[in-house]
Amino acid sequence: MAFSSLIFVCIFLPIVFGLHSVIRPIWAKNALLIAASLVFYAFGEPLYVFLMLLSALFNYLCGLAMGGEHKKPLLALAVFVNIGLLCVFKYAGFFVETINRLLQTELPVPQIALPIGISFFTFQALSYVIDVYRGQVERQKSFARVLLYISFFPQLIAGPIVKYRDVSAEIEQRRVTVHSAACGLRRFIWGLGKKVLIANAMAAAADAVFAMERSSVNIVLAWIGAVAYLMQIYFDFSGYSDMAIGLGRMFGFHFKENFDYPYAALGIRDFWRRWHISLSSWFKDYVYIPLGGNRKGRLRTGLNKVLVFFLTGLWHGANWTFVAWGLFHGLFSFLEEAVPSIRKLPRFLLHLYTMLVVTVGFVIFRADDLSQAGFLIAQMFTGFRFARLYTSLALRQLTPFFLTMLGLAVLGCGPLRERVLRLRAASEKEAGLTAGETWRQVLLDLAAFVLLLCCILRLSGGSYNPFIYFRF
């Protein structure tokens, strides 16, 4: 079940939120959310819901057993089983295909369906066990609380990756006010609009260009596809994160932000401080720092970063394009550290350089294979062919709706919205108005209602694409 579906917006969410609002005991609220989360996951993965349950039970037992004398073997077992689970379901076919290609063998390639969100709930489960081992969180004796942490539907299938220590207190006790629920609902609707109106419009153009015959693509079409996908992946994934954060708030949970306007970044290292923050934080806490971080000399630091970027790329999928994308970003992150003058460029040039690297990187990320990635990147800089065919194909993508959404995307990917809200808040403070008495609150609620209606109309018309990150 996707957040941007009518069954979720009009049926599932109102029922679950309504029941959660009238139920009083915290254990009953948690039981409701566990049941709702299992229904939510089973709606699309009726068999793999048992895999998720087994994963939660195994990691709960590992954490529970950490009170004994064999903590290190238990941690090793937990890491082995969790990573093994990912390798079997996500990378088995990829590994066999790679071996066949390298050794010219004909080993049978396993055809295993990928459970939705396995990378997300596996990383969450691992972080719980590792934090218990480190003594950063107490062993949880209640399986229900661990299960709720791993299976909670807002962040179950596409993140953000939540650490147990960040929500453990709210699992045991939380309070939802009318104001916090309204703020959460507005955040959900904002994310829904980003997905349904902007990301889907960008997806139509990006998919069309990436599906074209190579002979039909010139520099204009290559840039249309690249820019469309650049906007699609940001508004798709940040929209999902907004919805997850908003839903969490509606049920009394406060998830950390997952994006901080990454397209306003000045440098690739700054980009990764702003993009998919929960994943970057996970690799920093559980891979980079345990490997030594930057404490063992420049060579070791560089190798640690290369490994983290390699794993970040591989985490996204079983394709060499993802690995190449991760290493591509790792290369420029290394260059920025090795050549400090890059970071001293004028802000405009530094931002231009950053967006160029990010855009080219996402072409690699989106391409079906490295051959297509190389071709499209070459066309972006050398495809100076302007016959009538190319003009016709380009105009077909540049519809009025696409151009309107592209304009909104350019405005929305910068911190303009936050600046407007800060100015409004400042003006209200000077006027001595409280939040409940201001027109701002009324206007925000009205705007959210209109945006929700627009999204429902678009969804009713069948203009729906699944989230990009569902496959990860």
Torsion of CA 472, 313, 356, 305, to 10 degrees: 140
pLDDT of res. 338? 83
pLDDT of res. 67? 77
Instruction: Answer for the pair 305, 334: CB distance below 8 angstroms, yes or no.
Output: yes
What SS3 state is found at 68?
coil
Nearest to 8 by CA among 49, 40, 41: 40
pLDDT of res. 29? 96
Res. 54: pLDDT tops 50: yes
Using the Cα atoms of residue 51, residue 239, residue 161 and residue 336 in order, give the sign of their dihedral.
positive
Tell me the C-alpha distance between 470 and 472, whole Å. 5
Q: What DSSP string runs through 239-270?
A: HHHHHHHHHHHHTT--PPPS-S-GGG-SSHHH
Tell me the C-alpha distance between 121 and 331, whole Å. 29
Res. 420: pLDDT tops 60: no
pLDDT digits (tens, 9 = 90+) for 214-273: 989 999 999 999 999 999 999 999 999 999 999 999 999 999 999 999 999 999 999 999
Q: What percent of the chain has pLDDT over 90?
A: 65
pLDDT of res. 39? 95
Contacts of 240 (CB under 8 A, 6+ apart): 3, 158, 159, 191, 195, 467, 469
Instruction: Answer for the pair 117, 30: CB distance below 8 angstroms, yes or no.
Output: no
Instruction: Answer for the pair 179, 435: CB distance below 8 angstroms, yes or no.
Output: yes
Higher pLDDT, 444 or 208: 208
Contacts of 386 (CB under 8 A, 6+ apart): 218, 220
**Annotated catalytic residue, options 20, 276, 316, 329:** 316
What SS3 state is found at 275?
coil
pLDDT of res. 434? 53
pLDDT of res. 469? 65
pLDDT of res. 433? 46
Radius of gyration of the chain (CA): 23
Residue 76 class from Cβ within 10 Å (0-12 exposed, 13-18 middle, 19+ buried)?
Answer: exposed
Higher pLDDT, 445 or 225: 225
- What average pLDDT does the structure give for the chain? 89
Q: Is 316 noted as a catalytic residue in this protein?
A: yes
Residue corresponding to tokens 């949970």 = 253
Tell me the C-alpha distance between 62 and 76, whole Å. 10
Contacts of 88 (CB under 8 A, 6+ apart): 112
Which range among 169-173, 182-186, 191-195, 445-449 shows the weakest confidence by mean pLDDT? 445-449
Across the range 104-121, mean pLDDT stands at 87
Tell me the C-alpha distance between 172 and 132, whole Å. 17
Residue 222's CB is within 10 A of a number of other CB atoms, namely: 23
Which tokens go with 151? Answer: 């299976």
Model confidence band, residue 304 (pLDDT cutoffs 50, 70, 90)? confident
pLDDT digits (tens, 9 = 90+) for 348-400: 999 999 999 999 999 999 999 999 999 999 999 998 888 888 888 888 889 99
Tell me the C-alpha distance between 448 and 189, whole Å. 6
Termini Cα distance of the chain: 15
Nearest to 128 by CA among 145, 109, 114, 113: 145
